Amino acid sequence: MSPTTSGTRTWLTEADCDLDAFRSLVEQGTDPADHPSAERIERDVPLYDSDRLRSLTASPEGRRAVQGELVRALLDGPGIVVLKDAFPDAGVVDRTSEAFRALIEEERASGRARGDHFAAPGANDRVWNALDKVALRAPEVFADYYANDVLELIAEAWLGPAYQVTSQVNVVNPGGKAQNVHRDYHLGFLSQERAAAYPAHVHRLSPVLTLQGAVAHCDMPVESGPTLYLPHSQKFEPGYLAWRLPRFVDYFEDHHVQLPLEKGDAVLFNPALFHAAGTNRSTDIRRMANLLQISSAFGRAMETVDRESMAGALFPVLLRRKSEGVSADWLRRVVAATAEGYPFPTNLDLDPPVEGLAPPAQADVLWQAVAEDWDPERLRAELQSAAKRRQG
Asked if 134 and 103 touch (Cβ cutoff 8 Å), the reply is yes
Closest CA to 154 of 71, 248, 261: 71
Q: What's the confidence (pLDDT) of residue 343?
A: 84
**pLDDT of the residue at 113:** 45
Q: At 3, is the pLDDT very low, low, confident or very high (cuts 50, 70, 90)?
A: very low
pTM of the shown model? 0.84
CB within 8 Å of 179: residues ≥ 6 apart:
116, 118, 119, 276, 277
271-285, 289-303, 373-387: least confident range: 289-303
How does pLDDT run across 310-346, given as a tens digit for each residue? 899 989 999 999 999 999 998 999 898 788 887 888 8
Given this model, what pLDDT does residue 32 score?
A: 97
Shortest CA distance to 332 belongs to which of 363, 311, 358, 361?
363
CA dist., res. 9 & res. 98, Å (int): 50
Residue 1 has pLDDT above 60, yes or no: no
Query: What 3-state DSSP class applies to 262?
Result: coil
Task: Please enumerate in sequence order all residues whose Cβ is within 8 A of that of 156, keeping only pairs 6 or more positions apart, or say none.
Answer: 67, 163
Sequence-ordered list of residues with C-beta below 8 angstroms from that of 384, at least 6 positions apart, any chain: 308
Tell me what pLDDT residue 260 has.
Answer: 97
Per-residue pLDDT averaged across 89-113, rounded? 90
pLDDT band at 2 (very low <50, low <70, confident <90, very high): very low
H-type helices in the chain, by residue range? 19-26, 50-56, 60-75, 90-110, 130-137, 139-146, 149-159, 192-196, 200-205, 239-242, 246-255, 307-323, 328-338, 362-371, 376-391
pLDDT tens digits along 112-151: 645 555 555 555 788 988 998 999 898 899 999 998 999 9
Model pLDDT, residue 346? 86
pLDDT score recorded for residue 340: 86
- Establish whether the linkage from the previous residue to 232 is cis, with ω within 30° of 0: no
pLDDT for the residue 7 = 56
Q: What are the tens digits of pLDDT across the range 157-201?
A: 999 988 888 899 999 999 998 889 999 988 998 999 999 999 999
Q: What's the CA dihedral at 35, 37, 39, 44 to 10 degrees?
A: -20
